A and B are shown apart, each in its own frame.
Chain A
Amino acid sequence: MSSGISRRNILKSLTIGAAATSVLRVIPAQAAEYAHHMIAAEKAATKAYAPKFFNAHDYKTLQALCETIIPADSDSGGAVEAGAPEFIDLLTSENTEYQRIMGGGLLWLDSTCSDRYDKAFLDCSPAQQKEILDKIAYRNNALSDLSLSQGVEFFSFLRNMTADGFFTSEIGIKYLGYIGSAFLKEWPGCPPVPGV
Chain B
Amino acid sequence: MAQVIRSPKTYDVCIIGSGAAGGTAAKVLTEGGLNVVMLEAGPLLNPEKDFKEHVWPYQLPHRGAGVGGRASADFGEFLAPNGSWDIEGEPYTVAPGSRFRWFRSRIEGGRTNHWGRIALRFAPVDFKARSTDGMGDDWPITYEDLAPYYDKVESYIGVFGTKENVSSAPDGVFLPPPKPRCTETIIKKSCDKLGVICIPSRLAILTQPHNDRPACHYCAQCGRGCISASNFSSSQVMIPPAQKTGRFTLMTGVMAREIVVGKDGKAEAVSYIDKSTRTEKKIYAKAFVVGASACESARLLLNSKSSLFPDGIANSSGVAGRYLTDSVGSSGFGHFPQLAKVPAHNHDGVGGMHMYMPWWKFDRKNEFLRGYHIEFGGGREMPGVGGFNGICEDYEGYGTALKQKCRDLYGTFIGFAGRGEMIPNEQSYCEIDPDVVDEWGIPVLRFHWQWSDNEIKMARDMQETFRDIVETAGGTYYWRVSSDGPNPYGISDGGVIIHELGVVRMGNSPKTSVLNGYCQAHDVKNLFVTDAASFVSNPDKNPTLTIMAVSWRASEYLLDQAKKGSL
Enumerate chain A interface residues (CB-CB to B < 8 A): 13-14, 16-18, 20-21, 23-29, 31-32, 35-36, 39-40, 43, 68-71, 73, 83, 86-87, 90-91, 94-95, 98, 133, 137-139, 156, 159-160, 163-170, 172-173, 175-185, 187-191, 193-196
Contact = CB atoms under 8 A, between A and B. Distances in A.
Contacts of B357: none
B71 A32 contact: yes
Contact of A27 (B60, B67, B207, B382): B67
B380 interface: yes
A166 B410 CA distance: 14
B341 A196 contact: yes
23 contacts: A13-B88, A17-B70, A20-B86, A25-B70, A26-B88, A32-B77, A68-B398, A70-B398, A73-B400, A87-B62, A95-B68, A98-B69, A163-B388, A172-B383, A173-B58, A173-B382, A179-B347, A179-B380, A180-B348, A182-B348, A189-B179, A189-B181, A196-B186
B383 A167 contact: yes
Nearest to B410: A176
A193 B393 contact: no
Interface string B292-318: 000000000000000000000000000
Contact of B338 (A73, A139, A195): A195
A178 B77 contact: no
B53 to A, nearest CB: 9
Interface of B: 54, 56-58, 60-71, 73-74, 77, 81-82, 84-88, 91, 101, 178-182, 184-186, 207, 216-221, 338-339, 341-350, 380-389, 391-393, 396-400, 402-403, 406-407, 410-411
B61 A39 contact: yes
Contact of A196 (B69, B70, B342, B399): B342
A21 B384 CA distance: 27
B179 A183 contact: no
A180 B219 contact: yes
A39 to B, nearest CB: 4
B86 A21 contact: yes
A173 B382 CA distance: 8
A162 to B, nearest CB: 9
A17 B88 contact: yes
Given A25-B73, A175-B403, 11 more contacts: A39-B61, A83-B58, A138-B397, A168-B385, A177-B410, A180-B380, A183-B217, A185-B217, A187-B207, A188-B179, A191-B182
Contacts of B345: 179, 191
B68 A156 contact: no
Given A189-B179, A193-B182, A163 B86 contact: no
Contact of B68 (A98, A176, A185, A188): A98
Contacts of A164: 63, 65, 385-388
Given A71-B403, A176-B410, A25 B383 contact: no
Contacts of A187: 178-179, 207, 216, 218, 349-350
A94 B178 CA distance: 42
Nearest to B228: A183
Contacts of A32: 62, 66-67, 71, 77
Contacts of B184: 190
A24 B101 contact: yes
B398 A36 contact: no
Nearest to A99: B68
A184 B303 CA distance: 50
A142 to B, nearest CB: 11
A163 B389 contact: yes
Nearest to A69: B398
Contacts of A160: 386, 388-389, 392-393
Contacts of B348: 180-182, 184
A91 B400 contact: no
Nearest first, the 7 closest Cβ-Cβ pairs linking A and B are A189-B179, A95-B68, A94-B68, A177-B344, A168-B57, A190-B182, A24-B86
B500 to A, nearest CB: 15
Nearest to B74: A27
B399 to A, nearest CB: 6
Given A164-B385, A189-B181, A181 B219 contact: yes
Nearest to A91: B69
A107 B220 CA distance: 43
Nearest to B380: A178
Contacts of A43: 61
Given A35-B61, A168-B57, A95 B346 contact: no
A69 B402 CA distance: 8
Residue of A71, A98, A196 with most chain B CB atoms under a 10 A cut-off = A196
Given A176-B407, A181-B54, A183-B219, A29 B82 contact: yes
Contact of B347 (A87, A98, A180, A195): A180
A40 B398 CA distance: 31
Contact of B400 (A25, A71, A183): A71
Contact of A91 (B62, B74, B346, B381): B62
A34 B217 CA distance: 31
B346 A182 contact: yes
B541 to A, nearest CB: 25
A14 B406 CA distance: 33
A167 B68 contact: no
A132 B446 CA distance: 50
Nearest to A94: B68
Given A68-B398, A168-B385, A194-B341, A94 B67 contact: yes
Contacts of A26: 84, 86-88
Nearest to B341: A193
Contacts of B341: 193-196
B81 A73 contact: no
Contacts of B68: 14, 18, 27, 91, 94-95, 98
A71 B398 CA distance: 9
A59 B397 CA distance: 21
Contacts of B54: 181
Contact of A176 (B56, B60, B221, B383): B383
Contacts of B344: 177-179
A99 to B, nearest CB: 10
B190 to A, nearest CB: 12
B85 A25 contact: yes
B388 A167 contact: yes
Nearest to A39: B61
Contacts of B60: 36
Contact of B346 (A21, A35, A184): A184
Contact of B396 (A68, A137, A189): A137
Contact of B181 (A25, A29, A190): A190
B487 to A, nearest CB: 13
A80 B444 CA distance: 48
